Amino acid sequence: MSDAAAPATGRDARILALIGTGHFLSHFYMLCLPPLFLAWRAEFGVSFAELGLAVALMSGTTAALQTPVGFAVDRWGARRFLVGGTALMALSISAMAIAPSFLVIVLLAVLSGVGNSVIHPADYAILAGSIDKTRMGRAFALHTFSGNLGFAAAPPVIALLMAAMDWRWALAVVGLFGVPVVIGILLQSRILQDQAKPRSAKPEGQTGRQLLLSRPILLFFAFFLLSSMAGSGIQSFVISVLGSLWGTPVAIASMALTGYMAGATSGTLVGGWVADRKAGNLTVFVTVLTLASMGLIVALGALPMPEVLLPVVAFLAGLCLGSSRTPRDVMLKDASPPGEIGKVFGFVSAGLPLGGAITPVPLGYLIDLGYPQLVLPLVAGMLGLSLLCMGTAQGSARAARARPMPAE
């Protein structure tokens, strides 16, 4: 490694540590509330539907505000929004510790969702402007990986804290943990560079709306939406489907789900490594791996196999699908015009929580009607449609880049 490369690598590592920690907190806070449901139900006398409302409003607020926040990030820069969003997210969670009623908790959940809406558009804008292009795939991979760790860590951490203290102290502890993260981002903010701005631009509002409603970006949105719908279907019902079709014990089926999640999480790192080495051929890579994942998912529901193989097959399905996620993000970045990454990622990544909200009810209804055998083939079909959207989006993006810009 050259003398110039070593400092650059160290700087990139510091940037990823700052951005990754904030992303970890974002996902951690999204899943730190469900383990508190029983305690809240006992203290406030609320129903499970009301408890679910707190999480739904937090997620819905995040999804709804990501696009307008993306516009603001592109116009005024990402760093100030990253600091403010992370602070609002953390302080809202910690303030729940002194909430006198469940209504206050719901309002604070909405405020935390407002802070959370900043994370994706600000993070991707900073990564695009700060990280060396030769390491962009691995940077995106570590960003996704840190978020998945946040999801995985939230339930056990809250459970351990509640074994040692009551729920109010537990929320105060995890909320205030965000304060040193905010301070760290402030102290190191000089190394967080915003995305490069074009030398000339059209009026911001008009250009932004036209961009987000363009064919390539709408197709990328559909790609993200369908991928999320498929992932939500597996996570929600693979245990029930395996039990209904093959009589798989819950413990074994749960191991299959754990295997799938472990594969999907570790696959993001594989995808980042490949994205930095196959920048010109990512479409083929994503297509092959998604098709392999589709085949493995269908096999889980169509082929009787020894119970010991179920977690292995599920892990491989998750590994293939997870490995395609980072190249997907890199392709979207490459399709984004200079200075527009915040709004593009804000808009397109809103398809992820939306997809997670769409799938569970209709797939659950299929199982209620007595058709569990249709669930996994439908999930595979969603992945197939997502591939179609991806290929068309790539073609549209290349055609758009080849066309000359219209004169003013």
- Cβ-based neighbour number of residue 408 at 10 Å: 5
Measuring CA to CA, which residue among 40, 15, 21 is closest to residue 126?
15
pLDDT in the model for residue 206 = 43
Residue 239 within any structural domain of the chain:
yes
Radius of gyration of the chain measured on its C-alpha atoms: 21
Residue pointed to by tokens 């915003």: 194
Enclosing domain of residue 71: 5-192
* pLDDT one digit per residue (tens) for the chain, 408 residues: 444 455 567 788 888 888 999 999 998 998 888 889 889 989 999 888 888 888 888 888 888 899 999 999 988 888 889 999 999 999 999 999 999 999 999 999 999 999 999 999 999 889 888 888 888 888 889 998 998 888 888 888 888 999 899 999 999 999 999 999 899 888 887 888 777 666 554 444 447 788 888 888 999 999 999 998 998 888 888 888 999 899 999 889 989 988 998 999 899 999 888 888 865 568 888 899 999 999 999 999 999 989 999 999 999 999 999 998 888 888 888 888 878 888 999 999 888 888 887 888 888 888 889 999 999 999 999 999 999 998 888 777 666 655 554 444
Considering the domain architecture, whether residues 100 and 66 belong to the same structural domain is answered as yes
Last residue of a domain, one of 158, 192, 226: 192
In our burial notation (b when 16+ CB lie closer than 10 A, e otherwise), range 350-379 reads bbbbbbbbbbeeebeebbeeeebebbbebb
CA distance to 12, 69, 121, per residue, from 193 (Å): 11, 18, 14
Long-range pairs for 211-215 at CB < 8 Å and ≥24 separation? 211/337, 211/340, 211/343, 211/344, 212/67, 212/343, 212/344, 212/347, 214/396, 214/400, 215/393, 215/396, 215/400
Distance CA 279, CA 283 (A): 9
Within this chain, do residues 181 and 217 fall inside the same structural domain, yes or no? no
Q: Tell me if 33 is assigned to some domain.
A: yes
> Are residues 229 and 167 both part of a single domain?
no
The confidence score (pLDDT) of residue 169 equals: 95
255 within some domain: yes
Same domain, 211 and 297: yes
CA 265/CA 51 separation, integer angstroms: 28
Which of 190, 187, 154 lies closest to 170, judged by CA?
154
Is 12 a domain residue?
yes
Same domain, 14 and 115: yes
Distance CA 35, CA 158 (A): 7
Q: Is residue 198 part of a domain?
A: no
- End of a domain among 192, 224, 241? 192
pLDDT, position 197: 66
Q: Report the predicted TM-score, pTM, of the whole model to 2 decimal places.
A: 0.82
Note whether residue 309 is domain-resident.
Answer: yes
Q: Which residue has the tokens 């892990």?
A: 315
Q: How many domains does the chain have?
A: 2
Model pLDDT, residue 225? 92
- Examine the domain organization and report whether 230 and 118 are in the same domain: no
- 320 & 385 share domain: yes
Specify whether 223 is located in the same domain as 337: yes
Please name the residue ranges forming H helices in 198-249: 204-212, 215-246
Same domain, 234 and 168: no
Task: Indicate whether 176 and 304 sit together in one domain.
Answer: no
Provide the pLDDT for residue 406. Answer: 47
- At residue 399, the pLDDT reads 66
131 within domain boundaries: yes
CATH number of residue 87's parent domain? 1.20.1250.20
Residue 186 and residue 276 share a domain = no
In this structure, what token pair is assigned to residue 295? Answer: 């085949």
Give the span between the Cα atoms of 399 and 385, in whole angstroms: 21
Which residues neighbour 147 within 8 Å (Cβ) at sequence distance 6 or greater? 23, 24, 26, 27
Would residue 24 count as lying in a domain? yes
- Per DSSP, the residues of 284-311 read HHHHHHHHHHHHHHHHHHHS---GGGHH
Same domain, 220 and 274: yes
Q: Nearest-CA neighbor of 378 among 220, 233, 238, 256?
A: 233
Indicate the residue among 192, 222, 240 that finishes a domain: 192
